[in-house]
C-alpha cells in the first residue's frame, strides 16, 4: 500500500481518504499503469514531500499542478528535480525571481529538498504522470486526495502561508481560510506566463515576512551547491 510511505502525522490526518472508493480506484489505476508504462515519479518517491515535511512542520505550502514527465526529473516535490538533471524552465524562472527578490545565488542544480526540510510542503495537485505525457493522470483521483491535504493544512491552528502560482492553483483558494492564513498569489513561473505577473511579485520575501509576523523561523532559500559528480546536466 503506497500510503504506508507516509509519516504518522499524515497517515492519521488522511486515514479517511485511504478507505474511500476513489482512492482504492486510484491505487488500482496506478498499479496497472506501472505494469505496462513508465510512470513518474518512481513509486518510492510518490509521497516524498510528505516524508520530508510532516504535517506538524508545515509552515508554507507551495502548490504545483503535474509532475515533470521527463526521465529522472520528478521525485515527489513540485518544481524540484533530482541532482544531475537539467534545471527545468519554470524553476529557472523561480531562481531568477529569488535572485531579484532576496539576493539568491543560483545553484548548479534544481534539487529543492532543503526547502522541504524547513517546513515547505511542495505538493503537486496530481502526484503521478506517464512518461512524456503531461496531464495523463489528471482526473483519476489525485486532485480529490490533494484537496484533502490542502484542507488538513488549512485546519492547522497556527497560520500557514499558501503559495498559489497560476490560474490552476488559484482555484484552490476556496479551500483556504484567508482570515487565518496568508495567501500569496501571482502568475505561474512558466516561460508562458512569468512575464505577466510572476517576475517582480517577490513571493519569497513575502513568505519570510509572513513567517516573521507569525513568530516562526524564516526560510533560508539559499540552496547549497552539489558536487559536480552528482550534478552533471543530463
Catalytic-role residue among 19, 66, 101, 177: 66
Is 66 assigned a catalytic role? yes
Q: Long-range CB contacts (< 8 A, 24+ apart) of 191-196?
A: 191/89, 191/90, 191/93, 193/166, 194/90, 194/93, 194/97
Question: Do the beta carbons of residue 7 and residue 15 sit within 8 Å?
Answer: no
Helix (H, G, I), strand (E, B) or coil at 123: strand
All cell numbers assigned to 49: 514531500
Residue 130, C-beta contacts closer than 8 angstroms, at least 6 positions apart: 33, 37, 38, 39, 40, 69, 136, 137
| 78 neighbors 122 (Cβ within 8 angstroms) | yes
State the catalytic residues.
66
Amino acid at each position: 500500500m503506497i500510503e504506508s510511505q507516509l509519516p504518522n502525522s499524515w497517515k492519521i490526518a488522511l486515514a479517511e481518504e485511504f478507505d474511500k472508493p476513489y482512492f482504492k480506484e486510484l491505487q488500482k489505476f496506478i498499479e496497472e499503469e506501472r505494469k505496462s508504462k513508465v510512470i513518474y515519479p518512481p513509486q518510492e518517491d510518490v509521497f516524498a514531500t510528505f516524508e520530508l515535511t510532516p504535517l506538524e512542520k508545515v509552515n508554507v505550502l507551495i502548490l504545483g499542478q503535474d509532475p515533470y514527465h521527463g526521465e529522472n526529473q520528478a521525485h515527489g516535490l513540485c518544481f524540484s528535480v533530482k541532482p544531475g538533471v537539467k534545471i527545468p524552465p519554470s524553476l529557472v524562472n523561480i531562481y531568477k525571481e529569488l535572485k531579484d527578490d532576496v539576493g539568491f545565488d543560483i545553484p548548479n542544480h534544481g534539487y529543492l529538498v532543503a526547502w522541504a526540510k524547513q517546513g515547505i510542503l511542495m505538493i503537486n495537485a496530481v502526484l503521478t504522470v506517464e512518461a512524456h505525457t503531461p496531464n495523463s493522470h489528471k482526473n483519476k483521483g489525485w486532485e480529490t486526495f490533494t484537496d484533502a491535504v490542502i484542507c488538513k493544512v488549512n485546519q492547522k491552528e497556527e497560520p500557514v502561508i499558501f503559495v498559489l502560482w497560476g490560474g490552476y492553483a488559484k482555484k484552490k483558494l476556496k479551500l483556504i481560510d484567508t482570515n487565518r492564513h496568508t495567501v500569496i498569489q501571482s502568475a505561474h513561473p512558466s516561460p508562458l506566463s512569468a512575464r505577466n505577473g510572476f517576475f517582480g511579485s517577490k513571493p519569497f520575501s513575502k513568505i519570510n515576512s509572513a513567517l516573521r509576523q507569525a513568530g516562526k523561523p524564516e526560510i533560508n532559500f539559499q540552496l547549497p551547491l552539489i558536487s559536480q559528480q552528482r550534478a552533471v546536466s543530463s
